[in-house]
Chain A
C-alpha cells in the first residue's frame, strides 16, 4: 500500500513490482487519477504541453502492471488493525505501508496571505487556481526567489502578465548559487522585462475590499499594484497524515536510512521524509525530483524485503531559468568553504559559465550554466577524486552539448588554468 502517486510513490511501486511480481500493490492518491510529472505543470500552463502528455505512462500501464489505483484522500492510519482510513471509500488493509505524501508550500503568516488571488504552485489544484487567478490579471508579484518562483514568473510572463519579483536576498537564489551564477540569472530576469526587487521583505498583501488582492506592500512601505500574488518561499514536508498517528515526525516524517518509521511496517520516503542522520549530523531532507525518484527506487527495494540502506550518492541537480540551462554535480555552496578552491569562467555573452571546485587539488564539484555536461563523467571524476588538473585536461569528455554547437573548452581551460596557479 503506497500513499501518494508522485514520483516517489510511483517509482517505489514500479520497482516493487519488478522485484515482487505477485504482490498486490495499491497506490492511493486524492490529487489525481494517474501519476503526472510535477515539474511539467509549468509547461501545461504555458501551452507547451497538454495535461495528457505530462503523464509518463499510458493509462493502461497501471492495469498491465497490476498496480491498483485508488482515488481518495487518506485521513488516518489505524495502526493496530493495519488499515488506512480513507475519506470516501472506507478502509483499506495493508501489510506494508509507504507514506509518500510529498510537501506543502510554505506560508509565513503574512497579513492577507489567504486572500483570493494569492497562491503557491505545487500541485494540480494550484495550477487550476492559477488558471483562474491569471484571468484579467495585468500585474503579478512573486514573493520568494527559488526555482518555483522563477518558473511561476516564466509562466505568467508567457501570458503577457507583468511580473515583479520580490526577493529577500541581494541576488536571485544566492543562498544556493554563488554570486556569479546568480548574477547571470538576475540579468536574464531583467532582460525578459521582469521587475526584480532585491533585499526586500513582504509586509502585507492588500485587500481590494471584496476579499481579492489589490496590491502588496513591502517592508519599505512601497506599494505594488497587482491582481495576483505568487507565494513561493519553498516547501516543507507534508506530515499531516503522520501527525495524526504515533509516527514520529520532526520537520518531516522521521525515518532511518531504510525509510523505516518508528512503527513496524510503515515507511516514508520522498519530499515528506526526514532521514535521521546515523552519526549525529544534520538530518537529510531532500526535496528535488531526482532524490524523490532515487528514494522511491530504494524504498521500493526495502518494501520488497531487501535489506539496504539509502545512499544519497553524489549530489546533482539541474534546472532551467527561462532559456538558461543549469546543471550541478557535487555540492557547491553559495560561498567558498574553507579549503575549497573555486575556478570560474563566464562567457562574455553571460550565456555560458563553468565553475570547478577543488579541495586539496582534487575535484569536488561542478556548476554548468548554458553548457550541458555528461552526468556519468562528472560523477565518476568526483567519485574517483581526480585532480583538478586532470579534469581540466579532459574537460571536453564532459561536454554533452548537441552536435555543431560552439565549443568553449579551449577558452574555459585556459582561463581556469590561469586561476589555478
Chain B
C-alpha cells in the first residue's frame, strides 16, 4: 500500500482546489486593459472617413445634385483618402509580420454589435439594390459623372454597385498591402485580384458599353456567371454586330471547359478563386477582417458539401433544360423559364449577394464561395482529385496551435492534416495562403508539384478515390482515404 496517509497530500493544494470551468470561461475580452498609445494619423484618417460619410449622407438626403464631380469627390474622395490613410497610419510604424492582436476581442471582428449592424447594413444594401433600386436614385446620380466618362451612358444601379464593389477591392487591397507587407505571396495575389476587378470587371465592360459593344466580363465564366452559356445570351452575343460578340461566346466556352481544367490541373483552383474571381477578390480584401469567422466543424463541412454540389447540379440542369427548350421550339419552356428565374433569384441574387456578402461580418468572408459557388464546386473536384496543387506539411514541426484552422476562410481544419504530416488537398481550399502565413512554425507551404500522383493515398487512381469519397462522406480523422 503506497497511497499517502489520510489527510496529507503531496500535491499543491492550490492545484487541488482548481476545478476550473475553462469551457464556460472561454477567455474572451480582457476586463480592463492598458489603453493603446494614441496614433494621431489614424485619428485624423478616421475623422476624414467620418466627413466622407457625412458628405454622403447630406448628398443622399437632399443636397441639390448638379451632376458634376464635386459631390462625387467630396463623398467618395474623402472616404477613399480616409480609408487609405487609416491603413497607412495603423501599420506604417509596426514591424512587418502577422497582425492579429485582439481580433477575437474586437466588436467588429468577432460578432459584436458593430459586426451585426454592419451585416444588417450590407444585407439591407443588397435588398434595396435588387428589389427597390428606385431608392438608390440619388446615389446613382452621384456616380453619373463617372459613368458618363467611362461608358458614355447614364448610370444605373449596376454601375453604382460595380463602382462600390471595385472601390472596396482597391481600398481594402491597399489595407492588405500594409497588413501583409512581409509576405510577397499576399502582395502579388492582392495585386492580381485588384487588377482583375478594376480592369476586367469594371473599366473594360463599361468601355465596351461606350463603344456600343455588349457589356461583357472576361473574368467571369459559366457556371458562376450562369447566364453566359444560356441560349438567350449566346444568341444575343452572336447576333450583335461585329465579331466581338462571337469572340465573347468563344472566350466564355473556352474558359469554362478548357482553361478551367487545364489551369486547375497545374495550379489548383486558386488561379481563379483567390487570384482572378471578383467574388474572391472582394472576400480577400474587404472580407479579410472576418476570415476567421467561418465555421470549422465537421457538421458545417457536411452542410457545405450538400449545398454546393446541389447548386452545381441545379445550374447544369437549368442550362441543359434551357438549351433543350430553345432547340425544340420551346417544348420545355414551361419548366425552363421558371427554373431560370428561380435560379437567378434565389442563387444569383439572394445567395451570392445578400447572404454571400451581407453575412461577411457574421459568418466569414467566403459564405458564397464555400457553400454556394458552382464554379468552386467544379474547380474543387478537379483540384481534389487531379491537380498538382497541394499544401505540404513540414515534417513533424506542427504543434497543433490551430492558427491555420482559425484563419482558414474556407472552414478547413488545416491543423488536422498538418498535425499528422499530411498534404492538404481539400476541394474547398482556394489557396489564399493565409494558413501558411499565420503558422508560427513555418509548417505549411502552398506548392504545385510535378505531378498529381503523390498528393494523397490512392492518387494514382483518382476515379476510385472520387467514388470512395462520395460513398464515405466527410471524415476529418481516423479514416485516411475517405475525405474530400
Which residues on A are within 8 Å of B, measured CB to CB? 7, 30-34, 37, 39-40, 43-58, 61, 64-65, 71, 73, 75-80, 85, 87-88, 124-125, 127-128, 131, 134-138, 158-161, 188, 191-192, 240-241, 243-246, 289-290, 293-294, 316, 318-320, 322-323, 325, 327, 372-376, 379, 400-406
Which B residues contact A (CB, under 8 angstroms)? 1-4, 9-12, 15-16, 18-20, 22-23, 25-37, 95-98, 100-106, 182-185, 187-188, 296-298, 394-397, 399-403, 405-406, 415-416, 419, 433, 436-437, 440-442, 445-447, 476-478
Closest Cβ of chain A to B13, distance in Å, is 11
Contact status of A48 and B37, CB under 8 A, knowing A240-B12, A245-B2, A290-B397: no
Do B22 and A80 touch (CB < 8 A)? no
Q: Chain A contacts of B436 at CB under 8 A?
A: 402
List residues of chain B with CB within 8 A of the CB of A43.
401-403
Partner of B406 from the list A45, A48, A73 (CB cut-off 8 Å) is A48
A325 touches B30 (CB 8 A): no
Q: Which 7 A-B pairs have the closest CB atoms?
A: A375-B395, A323-B97, A372-B442, A76-B3, A40-B401, A47-B102, A404-B184
A71 to B400, CA, bound (A): 22
Residue of B nearest to A85 (CB): B3
In the complex, the answer to whether B297 meets A138 with C-beta atoms within 8 Å is no
Find the B residue at minimum CB distance from A132: B31
Q: Contact at A372–B406, with CB atoms within 8 Å?
A: no
Partner of B396, one of A75, A294, A323: A294
Determine if B399 and A75 form an interchain contact, defined as CB atoms under 8 angstroms apart: no
A294 to B395, CA, bound (A): 12
User: Which of these, B11, B103, B182, B437, contacts A240 with CB under 8 Å?
Assistant: B11
B297 proximity list for chain A (CB < 8 A): 58
Which one of A88, A192, A289, A375 contacts B95 once the chains associate, using CB atoms below 8 Å?
A192
The chain A residue with its CB closest to the CB of B415 is A56
What residues of chain B lie closer than 8 Å to A327, measured between beta carbons? 397, 441-442
A401: which B residues are within 8 A, CB to CB? 445
Asked if residues A75 and B11 are in contact (CB atoms below 8 Å), the reply is yes
With the chains together, A49 CA to B103 CA distance in Å? Answer: 8
- B-side interface mostly: loop
Q: Which residues of A contact B2 (CB under 8 A)?
A: 76-80, 244-246
Asked if A57 contacts B477 (CB within 8 A), the reply is yes
Contact, CB under 8 Å: A160 / B26 = no
**Inter-subunit contact A400/B445 (CB<8 Å):** yes
Bound-state CA distance A244–B10 (Å) is: 7
Complex Cα distance, B477 from A79, in Å, reads 36
Q: Inside 8 A of A34's CB, which chain B residues have their CB?
A: 23
B284 to chain A, nearest CB (A): 16
Complex CA gap A404/B270 in Å reads: 15
Which residues of chain B come closer than 8 Å to A53, judged between CB atoms? 296, 402, 405-406
Per the bound structure, the CA–CA distance linking A319 and B440 in Å amounts to: 7
A-B contact pairs, 18 of them (CB 8 A): A7-B400, A46-B100, A55-B402, A73-B16, A125-B20, A131-B30, A135-B32, A240-B10, A244-B2, A244-B3, A244-B4, A316-B395, A322-B97, A372-B442, A375-B397, A400-B394, A402-B183, A405-B184
Residue in A closest to B103 when the chains form the complex, CB atoms: A47
Q: With A51-B25, A135-B31, A374-B394 as given contacts, are A56 and B419 in contact (CB-CB < 8 Å)? A: yes
Docked Cα-Cα span, A174 to B102, in Å, equals 31
Closest-CB distance, B291 to chain A (whole angstroms): 12
- Tell me the bound Cα distance from A379 to B421 in angstroms: 15
Residues in B whose Cβ lies below 8 Å from that of A240: 10-12
Which listed residue (B33, B97, B395, B399) contacts A289, Cβ 8 A? Answer: B399
CB-based contact A161/B34 at 8 Å:
yes
**What is the CA–CA distance of A324 and B19 in the complex, to the nearest angstrom?**
37
Judge whether B27 and A51 touch: CB under 8 Å: yes
In the bound complex, do residue B11 and residue A374 qualify as a contact, i.e. CB atoms below 8 Å apart? no
Could you tell me the distance between the alpha carbons of A367 and B9 in the complex, rounded to whole angstroms? 45
Residue numbers in B under 8 Å from A318 (CB-CB)? 397, 441-442
Q: Within the assembled complex, what's the spacing in Å between the Cα atoms of A158 and B96? A: 15
- Please give, as numbers and ranges, the residues of chain B lying within 8 Å of A135 by CB-CB distance: 30-33
**Distance of A56 Cα from B441 Cα, bound (Å):** 16
